[in-house]
Chain A
């Protein structure tokens, strides 16, 4: 199971990098969503992937059998999903408000905070 998950994480990361290299901020946010999925899968895999061995303690025993899959990472993922969902929502609203104010989603053309005249030449050079 682990190799498959590793490949999926790799594919998600590749897609993330591709999307994040875009100048379009909305695409960047989609990349971010994929990135958080990749991170969650990494945590999921770190808990171990075994079939049909739930992390249950048998009656009378004081510890679960040794080769169960760990349940803690799944709890961590639940927390992480909620957090990344809220941040993603914020990022989408931010993108929309920025579009309303600056009338662009192209990050190279967002120059309100660092106007080109005053030392944002570095950014310009990166474009050219």
Chain B
């Protein structure tokens, strides 16, 4: 089973390199990109079913035993995240075939997309904190290049903001890793779980935890560190903003979930209480920001922020049900949000604009697209029987069970305001009559039509399927949450018991 853990990183890396080398021929490059995306989806599905069957899988690269070598680990959370990333990667590649004309843009887009996927999958599978940092950096450099693809003033401006805050975040992450290593003398996450309990000054540990909250919080775009997101996400190519909206911030959420269930769980009353506040404020500021916007992609960008709040809420409650809801939310959200960005791109292709004032009449002209927007949009708002309803229900129930009635109320009100934003888009872009100055009824170029609509329709079907039959995803999230709440399962899967016992105590431990 070892190769299953390595493949989700190797396949996109290979697709990126071969795609870059083969950029002379558009046809070869597209074939490589499609093959890479399908291959990644295949191994990700294989990895998920393997973890589902046999439990946590881990592999020691180069056979160096666990606390010293490089470890890749896939528990239920990692495997699910890799699988859903692979799905979004495949959808994006197909959508990009329809959306980006053959040319220099397309030739740069596909290899970079795969480099991004390699970074994302690597971050999900990394079993030690320094490798997590390295995968974050690969993801960052690929996303920076994707962001400025096209080189328009708006893209460069957005990239300045994105680069500035992301670079601070990664440097903070690096310092945090240094401090954590100084305290514990290890980098392996499973080993860290054991060693942090031996640290004498638990206050210092909390302090280091705060460095990680800020670093990952910047990545995840939580309150008050989210300003880079609405400044940059509406500027790049549609395919790029879709993959960003689905995956980038969620890697930050994943890292928070991993660190604050496995490593920093010594002072839940402080760290997780803080996360509760962050979660509530993130939900509220995000949704209020969205309400003030009038451009399709900018509304959606602000909604990413408010949805991140829900995921952090699941983590901050620190109960099995809370984490279950949080994990369910992440997976549902990735599918829905990427899909909404795809729809916004299709609208832009059709009407030549994403400004709500100049749009209109799309329901009459393109009923199919309207239905395909309706499903993810109202899933995001939490209408039954769509996937978002179950995600919100689980989180609100978890809040009530933990006696956090205020946050349950906030979550409900934010859901209501999300409905407001989504109906605003629905009324303006789809329902109202097309403004007279907008010209004749728009239509897709015939050959592109299905390349654009197929990924949207597939993701919408998945949303509907999760909504109507939530059991499998619920069980997956339940298993992942149980593993997070009981780290000993993770630790035992990674570390060889004998290795831990015989490792010379104090070697590499420079705390004194």
User: Which A residues are closer than 8 A to B by beta carbons?
Assistant: 20, 25, 28, 32, 35-36, 38-40, 42-43, 45-48, 63-64, 66, 69-70, 72-73, 76, 79-80, 83-84, 86-87, 90-91, 94-95, 97-98, 101-102, 107, 110-114, 118-119
Asked if A97 contacts B156 (CB within 8 A), the reply is yes
Residues of chain B within 8 A (CB-CB) of A91 are 163, 167
B295 at the A/B interface (Cβ < 8 Å)?
Answer: yes
Chain B residues closer than 8 Å to A94, beta-carbon distance: 144, 148, 156, 159-160, 163
Q: Which one of B240-248, B259-267, B310-318, B504-512 is at the interface?
A: B504-512
How many angstroms from the CA of A35 to the CA of B166 in the assembled complex? 13
Q: Which stretch of B43-51, B169-177, B192-200 is in the interface?
A: B169-177
Residues 128-149 of B at the A interface (beta carbon under 8 Å): 130, 134, 137, 140-141, 144-145, 148
B507 touches A63 (CB 8 A): yes
Select B137's contact among A32, A70, A87, A119, beta carbons within 8 Å: A87
Q: Which residues of B contact A (CB under 8 A)?
A: 130, 134, 137, 140-141, 144-145, 148, 151-161, 163-164, 167-168, 170-172, 174-175, 177-179, 181-182, 185, 187, 230-232, 234-235, 292-295, 504, 506-508, 510
Rank and list the top 5 A-B pairs by shortest CB-CB distance, nearest first.
A46-B182, A43-B178, A48-B510, A112-B153, A112-B157
Q: A42-B175, A46-B179 are in contact. Are A114 and B510 (CB under 8 A)?
A: no
Let me know if A107 and B160 touch, CB within 8 A.
Answer: yes
**In contact, A39 and B160 (Cβ under 8 angstroms):** no
Whether the pair B292, A113 counts as a contact (CB closer than 8 A) is no
CB of B23 to closest CB in A, whole Å: 20
Identify the interface centre among A114, A118, A119: most chain B CB within 10 Å of its CB.
A114
Given contacts A80-B174, A83-B137, A107-B160, contact A72 B508 (CB under 8 A): yes
**Interface pair A42/B178, CB less than 8 Å apart:** yes
A76 and B181 alpha carbons, distance in the complex (Å): 11
Taking CB atoms, residues of chain B closer than 8 Å to A70 are 185, 508, 510
Whether the pair B161, A113 counts as a contact (CB closer than 8 A) is yes
Closest to A80 in B: B174
Q: Check A46 against B178 for contact (C-beta < 8 Å).
A: yes
Check A87 against B178 for contact (C-beta < 8 Å).
Answer: no
Can you give 19 contacting A-B residue pairs, CB < 8 Å? A32-B171, A42-B179, A43-B181, A46-B510, A47-B182, A66-B506, A73-B178, A87-B140, A87-B170, A90-B141, A91-B163, A94-B163, A102-B153, A102-B156, A102-B157, A112-B156, A113-B234, A118-B294, A118-B295
Report chain A residues within 8 Å CB of B153.
101-102, 112
20 new A-B pairs (CB below 8 Å) besides A63-B507, A113-B234? A25-B160, A32-B171, A42-B178, A43-B174, A46-B182, A63-B504, A66-B507, A73-B178, A76-B178, A87-B137, A87-B170, A94-B160, A98-B159, A102-B153, A113-B161, A113-B231, A113-B235, A114-B231, A118-B294, A118-B295
A45 to B140, CA, bound (A): 27
**Do B167 and A112 have beta carbons less than 8 Å apart?**
no
Q: Which of B141, B181, B232 lies in contact with A113, CB distance below 8 A?
A: B232
Contacts of B155 in A (CB 8 A): 113
Which residues of chain A come closer than 8 Å to B294, judged between CB atoms? 118-119
Query: Which residues of chain A are within 8 angstroms of B295 by Cβ–Cβ distance?
Result: 118
Give chain B nearest CB distance to A123 CB in angstroms. Answer: 9
Q: How far is the CB of B32 from chain A (nearest CB, A)?
A: 25
Q: How far is the CA of A32 from the CA of B82 in the complex (A)?
A: 32
Q: Is the CB–CB distance between A98 and B178 below 8 Å? A: no
**Within 8 Å CB of B163, what residues of A?**
90-91, 94
Contact B235 A101 (CB under 8 A): no
> Which B residues lie within 8 Å of A113 (CB)?
154-155, 157-158, 161, 231-232, 234-235
Q: Contact partner of A84 among B157, B171, B230, CB < 8 A? A: B171
Which residues of A have CB within 8 Å of B175? 38-39, 42-43
Q: Is the CB of A101 within 8 A of B178?
A: no
> In the complex, which residue of chain A has the Cβ closest to the Cβ of B138?
A83
- Distance in angstroms between the alpha carbons of A110 and B268 in the assembled complex: 42
Residues of the B chain whose Cβ atoms lie less than 8 Å from the Cβ of A79? 130, 134
Chain A residue numbers with a CB within 8 Å of B152 are 101, 112
Q: List, in ascending order, chain A residues with CB within 8 A of B140's CB.
A: 87
| Chain B contacts for A40, CB-based, 8 A | 174
Give the distance in Å from the alpha carbon of A118 to the alpha carbon of B234 in the complex.
14
- A86 CA / B152 CA spacing, docked (Å): 23
In contact, B181 and A72 (Cβ under 8 angstroms):
yes
Kindly state the separation between the CA atoms of A25 and B156 in the bound complex, as whole angstroms. Answer: 12
Question: What is the CA–CA distance of A86 and B170 in the complex, to the nearest angstrom?
Answer: 13
Q: Which of A73, A94, A113 has the most CB of B within 10 A?
A: A113
- Chain B residues with Cβ below 8 Å from A48 are 510
B157 touches A87 (CB 8 A): no
**Which B residue sits closest to A43, measured CB to CB?**
B178
Bound complex: CA of A57 vs CA of B151, how far in Å? 54
Q: Considering the chains assembled together, what is the distance between the CA atoms of A86 and B134 in angstroms? A: 13
Complex Cα spacing A4 to B178, Å: 17
Instruction: Give bound CA distance, A38 to B151, whole Å.
Output: 32
List, in ascending order, chain B residues with CB within 8 A of A112's CB: 152-154, 156-157
- Which residues of chain B come closer than 8 Å to A114, judged between CB atoms? 157, 230-231
